[in-house]
């Protein structure tokens, strides 16, 4: 629901469309968590893991292939393997040192960048303060238009007994599950979250609490099952177009 007739809606227009359709879903699907990082964090750790797994040893030749003492050939092979391992570890240490130097340089650049951003934010704040009053009036007007566009609840607020009965029988059939979800949707239309208090800085410090607080006060049997109630409600909500 971000376009109407090919026109991209503004943020206020999106809020207005959602207010006109209070029973539509208002959330976005959650993305799956990123895969866990299993790669070693430093070059030295990578080299040690390769040594531990034996991947650096490679294919060993037969110490008796070209004649000579098998003991001497075995000692030579062990020495060669040790030299390879020492070279790899030394290279890893040098690479870690280079990485640490690069990290120090990056931290210095990041510090300068943060300082420049702080100065830019201060300049932008000084500019915004010139139209704070006008912007606050615009937001109040938009909030009033959204409240006026929000339709009245189509059904009365469900009672505690009806909610508990529908919750207990929600698994009896698909119709019972839909009935319970519709009751929660009806409840949300009556007790949707509203701002009740701001502090002197204009920050929100208290809200009405919405369905969660209503269940705690009026239906404590379902208060521990708030997320289950929301899950059944989402089954009955159509997607925003």
Q: Are 78 and 126 members of one domain? A: yes
- Please state which of the ranges 3-7, 46-50, 236-240 shows the lowest mean pLDDT: 3-7
Q: Are 125 and 172 members of one domain? A: no
* Per-residue model confidence (pLDDT) at position 171: 94
- How far apart are the C-alpha atoms of 147 and 165, rounded to whole Å? 33
Residues of the domain holding 107: 10-21+39-151
What's the chain's average pLDDT?
79
* Per-residue model confidence (pLDDT) at position 61: 45
Select from 151, 185, 213 the last residue of a domain. 151
Answer yes or no: pTM beyond 0.75.
no
Number of domains in the chain: 2
Q: Are 114 and 211 members of one domain? A: no
Q: Are 137 and 99 members of one domain? A: yes
Select from 119, 151, 183 the last residue of a domain. 151
Q: Are 193 and 181 members of one domain? A: yes
Select from 151, 180, 200 the last residue of a domain. 151
Q: Are 96 and 169 members of one domain? A: no
What average pLDDT does this structure show over 60-66? 46
- How far apart are the C-alpha atoms of 124 and 203, rounded to whole Å? 20
List, for residues 171-198, the tens digit of each pLDDT value.
999 999 999 999 999 999 888 877 666 6
What average pLDDT does this structure show over 87-107? 81
Q: Are 192 and 135 members of one domain? A: no
Q: Are 208 and 237 members of one domain? A: yes
Q: What percent of the chain has pLDDT over 70?
A: 71
List, for residues 6-45, the tens digit of each pLDDT value.
678 888 888 888 888 888 877 655 567 777 766 666 666 6
Taking residue 148's Cβ as centre, other Cβ atoms within 10 Å add up to: 9
């Amino acid at each position: 629901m971000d376009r109407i007739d090919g026109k991209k809606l503004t943020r206020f227009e999106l809020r207005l469309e959602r207010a006109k359709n209070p029973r539509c879903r208002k959330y976005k699907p959650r993305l799956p968590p990123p895969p866990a990082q299993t790669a070693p964090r430093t070059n030295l750790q990578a080299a040690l893991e390769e040594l531990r797994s034996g991947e650096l040893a490679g294919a060993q030749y037969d110490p008796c292939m070209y004649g000579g003492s098998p003991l001497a050939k075995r000692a030579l092979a062990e020495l060669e393997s040790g030299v390879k391992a020492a070279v790899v570890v030394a290279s890893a240490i040098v690479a870690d040192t280079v990485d640490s130097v690069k990290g120090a340089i990056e931290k210095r650049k990041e510090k300068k960048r943060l300082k420049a951003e702080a100065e830019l934010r201060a300049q932008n704040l000084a500019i915004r303060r010139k139209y704070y009053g006008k912007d606050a009036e615009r937001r109040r007007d938009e909030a009033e238009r959204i409240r006026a566009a929000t339709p009245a609840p189509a059904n009365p607020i469900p009672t505690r007994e009806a909610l508990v009965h529908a919750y207990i029988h929600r698994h009896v059939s698909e119709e019972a599950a839909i009935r319970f979800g519709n009751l929660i949707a009806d409840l949300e239309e009556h007790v949707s979250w509203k701002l009740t208090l701001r502090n002197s800085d204009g920050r929100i410090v208290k809200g009405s609490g919405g369905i969660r607080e209503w269940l705690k006060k009026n239906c404590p049997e379902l208060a521990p099952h708030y997320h289950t109630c929301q899950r059944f409600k989402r089954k009955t909500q159509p997607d925003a177009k």
